[in-house]
Amino acid sequence: MDVLYFAWVRERIGLPKERIETAAPTVAALVEELSAREDRYAAAFADLSALRVAVDQDLADFDAPLVGVREVAFFPPMTGG
Amino acid sequence: MDIRVQSAPFDFGAEAGAFARGRRDAGAIVTFAGIVRDDGGLARMELEHYPGMTERSLETIAAEATRRFGLLDCLVIHRHGSLTPGETIMMVATAAPHRADAFAAAEFLMDYLKSRAPFWKKEFGADGAAWVAAKDADEDVLGRWSQD
- The edge-to-edge listing of strands for the beta sheet with A2-5 is A17-19, A2-5, A71-75, A52-55, A58-60
Contacts of B106 in chain A (CB under 8 A): none
Q: Total structural domains in chain A? A: 1
Q: Tell me which of B115, B116, B140, B142 to substitute to probe the interface with A (most A C-beta atoms closer than 10 Å).
A: B115
Domain encompassing residue B82: 2-145
Residues pairing with B127 in the sheet = none
Domain range holding A21? 2-75
Q: What is the DSSP letter of A23?
A: -
Domain-embedded: residue A37: yes
- Mutate which of A2, A17, A78 to disrupt the B interface (most B C-beta within 10 Å)? A78
- The pairing of strands B119-125 and B42-49 is antiparallel
Count: domains in chain B: 1
> Which tens digits make up the pLDDT trace of B7-23?
999 999 999 999 999 99
Q: Which of the four pLDDT bands, split at 50, 70 and 90, describes residue A72?
A: very high
Nearest Cα neighbor of A70 from A50, A55, A80, A49 is A55
Average pLDDT, chain B: 95
Chain B: residue whose CA lies nearest to A5: B50
Euclidean distance between CA atoms B84 and A47, whole angstroms:
32
Residue A52 belongs to domain with CATH number: 3.10.20.30
B41 touching chain A per CB within 8 A: no
The CATH number linked to B8 is: 3.90.1170.40
Give contacts of B108 with chain A, Cβ < 8 Å.
Answer: none
Q: What is the ipTM of this complex?
A: 0.94
pLDDT of B96-129, one tens digit each? 999 999 999 999 999 999 989 999 999 999 889 9
In a domain, A80, yes or no: no
Distance CA B19, CA B26 (A): 11
From the list B53, B56, B131, which residue is nearest A8 (CB)? B131
Please report which confidence band the pLDDT of residue B148 belongs to, taking 50, 70 and 90 as the band edges. low
> β-pairing, B2-6 with B73-79?
parallel
